[in-house]
Amino acid sequence: MLSLRTISSKGHKFVQEVRLCFGRNASNFPKTGIVLLNMGGPQKIEQVHNYLNQIMTDRDMIQLPFAQEYLGPWIAKRRTAEVQKKYEEIGGGSPILKWTNKQGELLCKRLDSVSPATAPHKHYVAFRYVPPYTKDAFTELERDGVQHAVIFSQYPQYSCATSGSSFNAIYKHFKDKNLPNDLKFSVIDRWSTHPLLIKCFADLVRKELAKIKNDKRKETIILFSAHSLPLKTVNRGDSYPSEVGATVQMVMEELDFCNPYQLVWQSKVGPLPWLGPFTDDAIKSYVKKGKKNFIVVPIAFVNEHIETLHELDIEYCKELAEKVGVEEIRRVPAPNDHPLFIEALTSIVNTHLQNKVAVGSKFLNRCPHCVNASCYHSKKWYSEVCNI
């Protein structure tokens, strides 16, 4: 009897043989798969509990102080109703899958044009905590007979909790399987300072600034808001804060430092110390100092989801702003399908394909105080399987 591993490998080989048989018609088969990594978000209210439960029990994402297998589910159950209400207030679910698919489709269309040698290209969505999961993406990719899988993190700034968790999930999916012999792997793990990403954010900021009243525009404070991290994670050596800071610096350079600005942090969870200052606290403090006009930029998010549509738009820009007496506050949209953002994605992948560097040395190097055994095994695996 054939094992599942043998079937998977033979299935991939069969598709490759079909390519050869069909000649020109083989162009219908994707040659290069672009695997888009992200956390994902519940598309339906009934997915919220399972989504939270997976996050709270995933030690690659969050490390609870003790008994995570028990404490995690308890926290998830306790928070479910509150989080469900938030999703109801933004339309009943997260639009992150819609935007990721849109970005993937536009990216692959452009790649087919600028890189015909690696075409056809097809995108695959690999979410961590809602379908389509990592296993779904790679099952489809293998079934399609893809020759080269480009694993492309959709977090511009790398964090062990977000990007790292997604990369570890791929390793765990394949660690007990035989990879198809003719499937190549390569990694794009971070892209926080890509020039077109910077131009995209700068363009979005300019458009919102132009809507501020003329007499208040120059004094408007630009708040660059990113998801925070526990300080113990930062102290282990996570590069995320410095990479977010680099993005902010380059966007302000692109804007010729037109306005006062500040990097702030959002989405703190639990009682432990997290990286600050927090976005809501910053708004409160600035208003007390007489600064009452703001532009809020979700600098670490590439598409709309709960942190932009609810936390920023409803909790801060509406409810908090009214409470503390903000005069005007505008939130910059996430890049979504902005033409400059699609060009940024295209440039990143095309350069990666042309340079033939399968995996970066920074990705393979662990944080100096890393305590996660999964990271050790995962990075070792990538160093062995990545090739172009």
Cα Rg of the chain (Å, integer):
22
247-253 contacts: CB < 8 A, separation 24 or more?
247/156, 247/157, 247/192, 247/193, 247/197, 247/198, 247/201, 247/299, 247/300, 248/224, 248/299, 250/193, 250/198, 251/198, 251/201, 251/202, 251/205, 251/224, 251/297, 251/299, 252/222
Going by pLDDT thresholds of 50, 70 and 90, the confidence category of residue 181 is: confident
Tokens of 385: 């399987």
154 plus 19 within the same structural domain: yes
Per-residue confidence (pLDDT) for residue 25, from 0 to 100: 46
| Residue of 248, 234, 239, 154 lying closest to 193 (CA atoms) | 248
CATH number, domain at 287? Answer: 3.40.50.1400
Q: Give the total residue count for the chain.
A: 388
User: Would residue 283 count as lying in a domain?
Assistant: yes
Number of domains in the chain: 2
Residue 276 phi/psi, 5-degree rounding, is: -130, -175
323 plus 365 within the same structural domain: no
User: Would residue 339 count as lying in a domain?
Assistant: no
Going by pLDDT thresholds of 50, 70 and 90, the confidence category of residue 229 is: very high
User: Would residue 176 count as lying in a domain?
Assistant: yes
d(CA 304, CA 241): 21
Per-residue confidence (pLDDT) for residue 269, from 0 to 100: 83
Check residues 373 and 17 and name the one with the higher pLDDT: 373
> Is it the case that residue 10 has pLDDT exceeding 90?
no
Give the tens place of pLDDT for each residue, 262-271: 999 999 987 7
47 plus 149 within the same structural domain: yes
pTM: predicted TM-score of the whole model, two decimal places: 0.91
228 plus 327 within the same structural domain: yes
Q: Are 207 and 258 in contact (CB under 8 A)?
A: no
Average pLDDT, the chain: 92
360 plus 373 within the same structural domain: yes
d(CA 82, CA 87): 9
185 plus 261 within the same structural domain: no
CA atoms within 13 A on the CB side of 229: 21
Give the tens place of pLDDT for each residue, 327-373: 999 999 999 999 999 999 999 999 999 998 999 999 999 999 998 99
264 plus 161 within the same structural domain: no
Instruction: Give the number of other CB atoms < 10 A from CB of residue 256.
Output: 8
Residue 370 phi/psi, 5-degree rounding, is: -65, 135
365-369 contacts: CB < 8 A, separation 24 or more?
367/160, 367/236, 367/237, 367/238, 367/239, 368/236, 368/237, 369/235, 369/236, 369/237
d(CA 44, CA 90): 11
Tokens of 147: 């020759």
77 plus 160 within the same structural domain: yes
Tokens of 109: 């269309």
**Measured over all CA atoms, what is the biggest interatomic distance in the chain, rounded to whole angstroms?**
77
86 plus 167 within the same structural domain: yes
Burial 204-224 (b: 16+ CB within 10 A, else e): bbeebbeebeeeebeebbbbb
Per-residue confidence (pLDDT) for residue 22, from 0 to 100: 45
219 plus 313 within the same structural domain: yes
Give the tens place of pLDDT for each residue, 118-174: 999 999 999 999 999 999 999 999 999 999 999 999 999 999 999 999 999 999 999
Residue entry with tokens 């609810």: 310
Domain that holds residue 65: 4-190+356-385
User: Would residue 289 count as lying in a domain?
Assistant: yes
85 plus 218 within the same structural domain: no
Give the tens place of pLDDT for each residue, 263-320: 999 999 877 899 999 999 999 999 999 999 999 999 999 999 999 999 999 999 999 9
Going by pLDDT thresholds of 50, 70 and 90, the confidence category of residue 254 is: very high
Lowest mean pLDDT among 5-19, 68-82, 236-250, 288-302: 5-19
User: Would residue 239 count as lying in a domain?
Assistant: yes
Q: What DSSP state is assigned to residue 19?
A: H
For the chain, the straight-line distance linking the first and the last C-alpha, in angstroms and rounded, comes to: 33
Per-residue confidence (pLDDT) for residue 14, from 0 to 100: 52
> Is it the case that residue 29 has pLDDT exceeding 70?
yes
